[in-house]
Amino acid sequence: MVTEAEHVLGIPAQVFTCVLSYTFLLIVAAAVFVVWYIRDSLKVDDIDKKHVFVTGCDSGFGNLVAKQLDRQGFHVIAACLTESGSTDLRTAASPRLKTVLLNVTDSASIERAVEMVRRETGERGLYGLINNAGRSIPIGPTEWMQPEDFRKVMDVNLMGLIEVTLKFLPLLKKAKGRVVNVASILGRLALVGGGYCLSKWGVECFSDSLRRDMRHFGIKVSIIEPGFFKTAVTRLDLIEADLQRLWDRLPSDIRNSYGPKYLEEYNKAQSFSMNILCSSDISKVTSCMQHALTAKHPRTRYGAGWDAKLFWIPLSYLPAFIGDFVVDVLLPTPKQC
């Protein structure tokens, strides 16, 4: 029997049905995207009445986002590790921005910062907490590490972040505020040894559990997952100097297993990769932080940088042997392998 579609258009019924089905799916997908885009674009009100506390503001992401939030009208309290970093930031910002010295590995220092923020925020409480402070070194082959090398990084990137967050939670609950934790694409893919990847995986886990627990109190938690950017964390001179320290203290049998040229080859490969991957536009990261604070409906995760979005995050969902292949391409092979 010839259907009306076949009679009028000369199209077989099955083909016509498929076209209708795909057209319907495209319309639904477009509608979902439009709704998501509108929802994602909605902004919070009364920015000029909200306080935000940012850690790691001496340089890099923290320094830039503190100045950007200050220009937007937030009451920014920027935590710096050094007095010079604090002075420079105050000079570059409006009188509204306040600074405080903070060492996230020192409980007494955290307590002093909490007390200062409590005085500044009063009954309003703290609207936003950006946990940005971090370090990368020691980083390198796992066998070159000692337990204290892991602790140096974990104490700042994970344990410091956890303690800061826990101490500020009462103020955040007052304001039904936001927590923005800076993780990394290395919180998805363990490409190198040392405490950095471990700490960022921990940040991912802590943030997820915190988000689920705190949503009952109106607190929203977001994770920033930057790719490779030119900051103090990726400074090759510092990383290479520390790798030399690790290499020099290795027992001779371990050094021999890697070969006399391994460190040189490792540094060359690392330098080549960093020069290709590292972006100098750190605003790609700070714009994610800003959205997490100003959007009515902040995202759970923000991939920042072309390499994060197009390469590392997709790679993290693929079978492990593919990630292993990528590491084998990027880094040299020890002599005895």
Is 258 a known active-site residue?
no
Q: Give, in order, the Cα–Cα distances in Å from 232 to each of 40, 131, 287, 331.
A: 32, 16, 19, 22
Among residues 22, 37, 127, 196, the one annotated as catalytic is 196
What residue type is 265 in one-letter code?
E
CA dihedral of 137, 140, 141, 146, whole degrees rounded to 10? -20
Element (H, E) at 313: helix 313-316
Asked whether the CA dihedral 281, 285, 289, 290 is positive or negative, the reply is positive
Structure tokens at 140: 């390198």
Structure tokens at 249: 């203290």
CB proximity list for 11: less than 8 A, separation 6 or greater? 5, 19
The answer to whether 128 touches 73, Cβ cutoff 8 Å, is no
CB proximity list for 314: less than 8 A, separation 6 or greater? none
Q: What span, in angstroms and rounded, lies between the C-alpha atoms of 261 and 168?
A: 48
Structure tokens at 199: 């700490």
Residues with active-site annotation? 196
